[in-house]
Amino acid sequence: MGNNQINGNEHIVRDLGNNFPDGEKFFGLQNIDNICYSNCIFQAFYNCEPFKKKVLEYKSNKETKDNPISLLQEMFQEIQFSKKKTGVCSSKKIMKYVRKGNPDFKGENHQDCHEFSIWFLNQMNDILNKKYTKSKINPNPPPKNQPSWLEEIFGGILTTQTTCLNCQKITERDEPFLDLSLDMVSNSSLTYCVKKLSEIEKMSGDDKFFCNTCNSKHDAEKQILIKKLPQTLICHLKRFKYDDRLNRMIKLFCKVAFPLELKLTPNYIPPDKQNKHDLQTEMNYSLNSVIIHHGQGLSIGHYTVLIKKTDSWYLYDDEQITQVDEFQVYDYFGSNNNPSCAYMLFYQQKQDE
């Protein structure tokens, strides 16, 4: 498939021998102009089976042949339908689209892979949602009463509940998300960071809440609750923050342990429901991709991604792929002595659910 494929990573076939996983392909991506940030995202996307399946099934036309979905499909097809088990592909064509659509990703500067991921997913979702918009292509669109397939895979819902402490009226606002951005607590766990997301925040003083029922400002309590969990949960660890003293972004190296198997339950309960057990559904996830940031800061460094295929882990470093032991995944929890830390985690809903 394609003329941009070159040989590479044959050592994977040699090393695995008779244990080579059936149907798996091991293709790296060329790094031209410091695009390790996008290479890692594309590899994690390809490793997400529900997402890959939908991209490969996507039907494009003349009007949509150069959109992000069709371009990603072209890359996925090159890997999926190659007669070779290993190799290296180029993302030059899709990155040409990216840099034309968003000047922030132009040039050779180090970029934030999380910002790229959100931008790219939103670009894809805009294309999918156009089928609900009246146009020459689609003069009689169906009503927008269901999520796109991308939202079905990655989409969750957070609900912000604000309780007026004067009249006890609860105001709710739903916020859809495609990934969950989490503040970190040093020497903690991913589950603790998820739990911390829902800590009650006091609103008082200059931050008093305007209550429509009271028609005036009052002290209030605000809480962010998980209303719906997605099929594939992307967790973004906020490892970069602005330092007022240094007047720049700094990296947080604190340790946050993340499990290979994750159990989460939505903690949203409607105000008029008393039996919370009737509303909660536990989700069981399995970790299948870990994007790692190497370096001291946001503007300089490198990205790699750990990918799980069948029962083994592999480190994708642009063109190069190597097999690693499972315990090496834990090396990226974070540490002041190690500038290589997990930055984004992809959890796939377990197939037995």
DSSP 176-237: EESSEEE---TTEEHHHHHHHTT--EEE-GGG-EEETTTTEEE-EEEEEEEEE--SEEEEEE
Task: Give the model's pLDDT for residue 338.
Answer: 86
Indicate which residue of 193, 293, 302, 341 is catalytic.
Answer: 302
- Give the mean pLDDT of 83-94: 93
What 3-state DSSP class applies to 51? helix
- Give the DSSP letter of residue 338: B
- Give the mean pLDDT of 188-195: 95
> Does residue 36 carry a catalytic annotation?
yes
Is the separation of the CB atoms in 161 and 222 below 8 Å? yes
Q: Which fold has domain 10-133+150-349?
A: Cathepsin B; Chain A (3.90.70)
CA distance 329 to 25: 21
Q: pLDDT band for position 139 (50/70/90)?
A: low
Look at strands 256-257 and 188-189 and give their pairing: parallel
Q: pLDDT band for position 3 (50/70/90)?
A: very low
CA distance 217 to 127: 41
Q: What is the pLDDT of residues 295-348, one digit of tens each?
A: 988 778 899 999 999 889 999 999 999 999 999 999 999 987 889 999 999 999
What 3-state DSSP class applies to 259? coil
Domain boundaries, the chain: 10-133+150-349
CA angle in degrees (0–180, nearest 5) for 255-258-263? 145
Is the separation of the CB atoms in 338 and 291 below 8 Å? no
Mean pLDDT, the chain, rounded, equals 89
Q: Is the pLDDT of residue 353 over 70?
A: no
Q: What is the pTM of this model?
A: 0.91
> Does residue 302 carry a catalytic annotation?
yes
- Give the mean pLDDT of 289-297: 93
Task: Give the model's pLDDT for residue 6.
Answer: 44
Indicate which residue of 36, 48, 211, 235 is catalytic.
Answer: 36
Task: Give the model's pLDDT for residue 4.
Answer: 43
Q: Is the pLDDT of residue 278 over 90?
A: no
Q: Is the pLDDT of residue 89 over 50?
A: yes
Q: 56 — alpha (psi -120 to 50), left (phi > 0) or beta?
A: alpha
